Amino acid sequence: MSRPIVLTEDAREDIEDARAWYRRQSNVLARDFSRSLRACLEGIEQFPERHTSVHRNIRRALLQRFPYMILYVRLGDVTAVIGCFHMHRNPRDWQLRRR
C-alpha cells in the first residue's frame, strides 16, 4: 500500500549534507547518490512494511551502493522520514530523533 512520504527538516538537512559531501568528491557521485536515494524513497513509499524495524517504531532502509540508511516511521496515512544517516554514525544520534 502506497503511503506519501514526508521529510522532516532534520532529514532534509541530512540529505543535503550527504549530497554536498559527494558533490565535493565528484558530480558523478553526487548524481548517483541522488538516484540511489530517490529509488530508496520510492521503495519505502510503495512498501513501507518491507524494511526492518530497528528501534521501537523506527524502520531502516539501506541505500544501494552507498553507506547510508533512511530511517522512517509510519504516522497515520503518511511515512515520515526522520533521517538519512551514514552507517558508521553513533546509533544514539538517530535514536534521539524518534521524539
CATH of the domain at 9: 3.30.2310.20
Grid cell for residue 87 = 552507517
**What's the domain range around 63?**
5-98
Give the confidence band of 80 by pLDDT, cuts at 50, 70, 90.
very high
Give me the pLDDT at residue 15, please: 97
Instruction: State CA 36 to chain mean position distance.
Output: 11
pLDDT at position 1 is 60
Please give the residue that has the higher pLDDT: either 95 or 18: 18
Average pLDDT of span 85-90: 84
- Asked if pLDDT for residue 90 goes beyond 90, the answer is no
Cβ count near 25 (within 10 Å): 10
Question: What is the chain's alpha carbon radius of gyration, rounded to the nearest angstrom?
Answer: 13
Work out how many domains the chain is built from and give that number.
1
